[in-house]
Amino acid sequence: MIQPAEAGPVSSLGRLGAFYHLVERAEVDSTNDEARALAEAGAPEGTLVWAHSQRKGRGRRGRNWQSPPGNLFFSLLLRPDCAPAVAAQVSFVAAVALGDALRPLLPPAARVGLKWPNDVLVNGAKIAGILLESDIDVGGATAWLVLGIGVNVRHRPDGVPYPATALAETGCSADAATLLAGFAERFADRYGRWRHAGFAETRAAWTSSAHGLGAAATVRLAQRTIEGQAVGMDEDGALLLQAGDGTTHRIAAGEVHFAPMDGTHAARD
Ligand code: BTN
């Protein structure tokens, strides 16, 4: 069992803020699995598991997440003390914070896009994914939340069914530790404001960097597919999709494919 370390300096990362308890590992199966185990053993909010590579990195919908050394893999344990549907908003807080951390590292012409629900894109190609996992307590509140984030820093994945990129492809030479430190600072700040003041600020920031709003979109649900135009995200985090007949659908969970816009790539979840 991994024990959480005290927040403090490590070789390549430096000191994180007081919110964090860093657990740094050379290689694990999955940082989400490590963080889940720590959550169930009672580890505190802010426990951050960072691994330099993963043997069994997991993406959403049971997909593999390619995890070679040089890219960034971490999972953050949170205990937001709210209903699961509200806790799911943390993925948007994280996407916004990651966008904020990436922007100063990128060349001026590069564009960060946030794709509903959980992807971060650069110039229309996926650079990062977010995997949120949680458990509820007997009263139905969120017992713990594990926010797992993978960022293609040095390497773009092979053979994935969507356009993908890596930070290095933009000409940026920043390493995983630099990006993690930038994210950690911004996330702690945004997460605190989300907890105390609610989702409105996150929603506005997410919307201002959203990828695909106004574009034709296809949403695959469990039983059917809806085609329409993505018109926004509502005050709870659902995607608003306007169908051809004028009906606005509220999509709480699903797989979205946006048609290419203005020479950008499409990104399939
Ligand atoms: C996605 O499918 O887009 C989500 C990818 C999430 C990958 C990260 S890497 C760190 C953490 N550990 C995992 O096994 N998965 C997440």
- CA 23/CA 74 separation, integer angstroms: 10
Would you say residue 1 has pLDDT above 70?
no
- CA 186/CA 11 separation, integer angstroms: 21
Phi, psi of 6 (to 5 degrees): -70, 150
Residue 208 exposed, middle or buried by CB count within 10 Å (0-12, 13-18, 19+): exposed
How does strand 21-28 pair with strand 47-54?
A: parallel
Which pLDDT does position 268 carry in this prediction?
44
- The CB of 58 under 6 Å from ligand 1? The reply is yes
Give, in order, the Cα–Cα distances in Å from 84 to each of 116, 230, 236. 18, 25, 12
- The CB of 149 under 6 Å from ligand 1? The reply is yes
- The CB of 228 under 6 Å from ligand 1? The reply is no
Distance 95 CA to ligand 1 centre (A): 13
| Nearest protein CA to atom 2 of ligand 1, as residue | 59
Residue (of 38, 111, 107) closest to 262 by Cα position = 111
Would you say residue 224 has pLDDT above 60?
yes
Over the stretch 25-38, which tens digit does the pLDDT of each residue have? 999 999 999 999 99
Residue (of 17, 24, 76) closest to 46 by Cα position = 76
Q: Ligand 1, residues 38, 47, 52, 58: which to mutate, most atoms within 8 A of Cβ? A: 58
Distance 130 CA to ligand 1 centre (A): 6
- The CB of 30 under 6 Å from ligand 1? The reply is yes
> Using alpha carbons only, what angle is made at residue 34 by residues 33 and 38, rounded to the nearest 5 degrees?
115
Phi, psi of 197 (to 5 degrees): -120, -5
Q: Ligand 1, residues 27, 32, 38, 77: which to mutate, most atoms within 8 A of Cβ? A: 32
When pLDDT is averaged across residues 123-142 and rounded to a whole number, the result is 95
Which pLDDT does position 12 carry in this prediction?
65
Residue (of 93, 82, 76) closest to 22 by Cα position = 76
- The CB of 178 under 6 Å from ligand 1? The reply is no
Confidence of residue 97 (pLDDT cuts 50, 70, 90): very high
60 CA closest ligand 1 atom index: 2
When pLDDT is averaged across residues 183-198 and rounded to a whole number, the result is 98
Q: Ligand 1, residues 38, 73, 145: which to mutate, most atoms within 8 A of Cβ? A: 73
Distance 248 CA to ligand 1 centre (A): 31
How does strand 248-251 pair with strand 47-54?
A: unpaired
Q: What pTM, to 2 d.p., does this model score? A: 0.91
Q: Taking all residues of the chain, what is their mean pLDDT, rounded to a whole number?
A: 91
Phi, psi of 71 (to 5 degrees): -90, 175
- The CB of 157 under 6 Å from ligand 1? The reply is no
Would you say residue 10 has pLDDT above 60?
no
When pLDDT is averaged across residues 221-236 and rounded to a whole number, the result is 91
